[in-house]
A = this chain, B = another copy of it.
Amino acid sequence: MADTAQLTEACPIAEVLDHVAGKWSIGVLVAAAHGPVRFTELEREVAGISRRMLTLTLRKLERDGLLVRTVYPTVPPKVEYSLTDMARELYTSLTGLLGWAERHRGDIARARAAYDAAG
């Protein structure tokens, strides 16, 4: 990761993406955005995620200060995750990218098709 540090030096954007670039981070963030969400809810809402990866992703996001984890000492246990203000702000910034994606989804698909057709 020494190289990543150098890249980050040259391009702080790369640093941002590190907090979001995990295979599941965005999915989890999106699923948690609509309010406090429990572990099992996330497991259902984020299609295809394994229990293990959900745990790892949640820990990473919590460590970066993007999620807050609240434990209710009940039986059975209840744990809720919610976005921090910082994460909500991030989410807003991501909408710019979302717009780009929607505008160019077709362009990208065509570009790929053309590229693959040519070879």
A: which residues have CB within 8 A of B?
2-4, 6-7, 9-17, 19-21, 23-24, 26-27, 30-31, 45-49, 62-65, 86, 89-90, 93-94, 96-105, 107-108, 110-112, 115-116
A21 to B94, CA, bound (A): 14
For chain A, what secondary structure do more than half of its interface residues adopt (helix, strand, loop), or is it mixed?
A: helix
A98 contacts which of B16, B46, B98 (Cβ < 8 Å)? B16
Q: When the two chains form their complex, are residues A27 and B15 in contact, meaning their CB atoms are under 8 A apart?
A: no
Q: When the two chains form their complex, are residues A101 and B12 in contact, meaning their CB atoms are under 8 A apart?
A: yes
A99 to B93, CA, bound (A): 9
A100 to B18, CA, bound (A): 13
Question: With contacts A65-B108, A86-B104 known, is A94 near B13, CB below 8 A?
Answer: yes
